[in-house]
Structure 1
Amino acid sequence: MINPFDVESQKYSALVNDEGRYSLWPAHMNVPAGWRVAHAADTREACLEYIEWRWVEMQPVSR
Structure 2
Amino acid sequence: MTTDEPPERHCRVVINDEEQYSVWATDRDIPPGWHAEGFTGTRPACLAHIDKVWTDLRPRSTREAMNP
Tell me the TM-score normalised to structure 1 length. 0.82
Query: Counterpart in 1 of 2:54?
Result: 55
Count of residue correspondences: 61
Structure with bigger helix share is: 2
Q: CA RMSD in A?
A: 1.7
Structure 2 regions of 5+ residues with no counterpart?
63-68
Q: Which structure's CA Rg is the greater one?
A: 2
Structure 1 regions of 5+ residues with no counterpart?
none
CA contact (8 A) 1:10 1:26 kept: yes
Moved over 3 A (4+): none
CA contact (8 A) 1:16 1:23 kept: yes
Percent of pairs with identical residues: 30
